[in-house]
């Protein structure tokens, strides 16, 4: 019985670590945010890279949303990567500089980005900004990213919002709320503490000195998370810039949602497995920013975190009923209450426009619905990059 008690206490403490990180981030994000003043020095010249794989449906709008923000000396480069549609022609007609890459053996966004950076070497820009082909760029975003990146000499991440498509079902709306917590609330909380954020794959700005010496050629299924961690361990932890905005939509099809969710969450969980080693490395080198980013990495997807906490509470309750030993149940209940309060605070401050409170009450059932996805990580983890289908085509 003592061994079981110790095991349950360790499980509860392990759950308390990511829950505590989320609570800290949420509490710091609650006060109204006052946008910082923009640097008034010269705006660095930028090159915008758009990696694209069969993005004919949306590439034109993306290029146009960026082109109107360019200044003299800026470049807008679309990498048409292994495309079998009219992506290249549409991007060129919209005003982009287009380069095409054909390599079926090395597939993935990382390879396309590396190809684009190598193309820029003949005439490098001071700042390179990466935007996904299915995104719209908010007014003033390019200017803000370029100035903050140029002034800080560090990678910079814009606020990346994903919206539910019209008529989206309950699961998609809950996923949109979880995305808001992950990409707006938590990074903002860390930002107020002077801590870095994870890279999110789009709306990312890099000084040329950083991006030109970084290994991007990878088929990693969450190349953005992996890249942010690698940069932080080298002393170039990314900054969050909530004043810059990039938006996109969740895939409209169930197949697209499943593919996207599997890629993101399996990739994230794979990185979490290496977190203890990374944390030990951060401690050994006294790298506080790297340590903070590893702690943030250890927070699993919100649905999985809820499942883990509920499992600990249920197991501790059964143990308490059998032995009257209450410590594991107290620890598990503390984690559950903290997580529930954090979620409700997020909804009250940021989530009302995304989902109603009555719909959010179904979140535990949404978490249960995702159990097969997490079981698949154990028995047949996705390790290859696959583009998510966004529409009906």
> How high is the mean pLDDT of the chain?
90
Query: Which residue in this structure is represented by tokens 């919206």?
Result: 163
Give the bridge partners for 246, in sequence order. 137, 160
Paired sense of beta strands 97-101 and 156-163, if any: unpaired
Paired sense of beta strands 75-81 and 46-52, if any: parallel
| pLDDT score, position 388 | 55
CA angle 137, 138, 144 (to 5 degrees): 100
For range 17-40, the mean pLDDT: 90
Residues in the chain: 393
Instruction: Name residues whose C-beta falls within 8 Å of residue 163's C-beta, 6 or more positions apart in sequence.
Output: 176, 247, 248, 249, 250
Q: What is the rounded distance in angstroms from the CA atom of residue 100 to the CA atom of residue 52?
A: 10
Using pLDDT thresholds of 50, 70 and 90, give the confidence band for residue 360: very high
What are the residue boundaries of the structural domains of the chain, listed by start? 1-32+169-200+217-378
Any idea which of 13-22, 29-38, 311-320, 356-365 has the lowest mean pLDDT?
29-38
Instruction: Name residues whose C-beta falls within 8 Å of residue 113's C-beta, 6 or more positions apart in sequence.
Output: 49, 51, 79, 130, 216, 223
Query: What phi and psi, each to the nearest 5 degrees, are found at residue 193?
Result: -90, 0
E-strand stretches of the chain: 46-52, 75-81, 97-101, 127-130, 136-137, 156-163, 204-207, 239-249
Using pLDDT thresholds of 50, 70 and 90, give the confidence band for residue 393: very low
- The pLDDT tens digits for 191-208 are 999 999 999 999 999 999
For range 167-188, the mean pLDDT: 92
pLDDT of residue 247 exceeding 70: yes
CA angle 268, 274, 280 (to 5 degrees): 130
pTM: 0.91
Task: Report yes or no: 73 and 45 within 8 Å, Cβ to Cβ.
Answer: yes
């Amino acid at each position: 019985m003592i061994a079981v008690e110790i095991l349950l206490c360790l499980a509860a403490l392990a759950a308390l670590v990511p829950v505590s990180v989320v609570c800290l981030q949420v509490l710091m994000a609650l006060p109204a945010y006052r946008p910082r003043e923009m640097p008034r020095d010269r705006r660095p010249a930028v090159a915008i890279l758009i990696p694209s794989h069969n993005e004919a449906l949306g590439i034109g709008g993306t290029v146009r949303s960026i082109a109107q923000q360019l200044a003299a000396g800026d470049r807008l480069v679309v990498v048409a990567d292994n495309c079998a549609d009219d992506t290249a022609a549409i991007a060129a007609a919209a005003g982009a500089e287009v380069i095409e890459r054909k390599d079926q053996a090395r597939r993935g966004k990382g390879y396309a980005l590396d190809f684009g950076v190598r193309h820029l070497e003949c005439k490098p820009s001071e700042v390179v900004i990466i935007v996904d082909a299915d995104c719209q760029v908010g007014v003033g975003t390019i200017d803000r990213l370029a100035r903050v990146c140029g002034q800080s000499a560090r990678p910079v991440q814009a606020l990346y919002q994903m919206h539910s498509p019209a008529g989206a079902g309950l699961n998609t709306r809950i996923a949109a709320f979880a995305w808001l917590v992950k990409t707006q609330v938590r990074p903002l909380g860390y930002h107020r503490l002077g801590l870095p954020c994870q890279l999110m794959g789009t709306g990312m700005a890099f000084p040329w000195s950083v991006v030109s010496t970084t290994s991007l050629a990878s088929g990693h299924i969450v190349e953005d998370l992996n890249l942010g961690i690698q940069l932080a361990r080298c002393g170039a932890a990314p900054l969050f810039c909530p004043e810059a905005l990039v938006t996109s939509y969740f895939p409209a099809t169930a197949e697209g949602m499943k593919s996207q969710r599997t890629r993101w969450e399996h990739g994230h969980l794979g990185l979490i497995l290496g977190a203890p080693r990374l944390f030990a490395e951060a401690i050994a080198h006294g790298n506080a920013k790297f340590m903070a980013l590893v702690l943030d990495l250890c927070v699993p997807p919100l649905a999985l975190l809820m499942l883990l906490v509920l499992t600990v509470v249920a197991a501790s309750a059964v143990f308490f009923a059998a032995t009257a030993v209450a410590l594991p149940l107290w620890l598990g209940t503390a984690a559950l209450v903290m997580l529930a309060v954090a979620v409700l605070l997020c909804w009250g401050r940021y989530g009302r426009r995304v989902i109603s409170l009555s719909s959010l009450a179904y979140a535990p059932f949404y978490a249960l619905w995702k159990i097969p996805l997490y079981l698949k990580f154990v028995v047949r983890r996705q390790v290859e990059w696959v583009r998510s289908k966004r529409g009906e085509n």
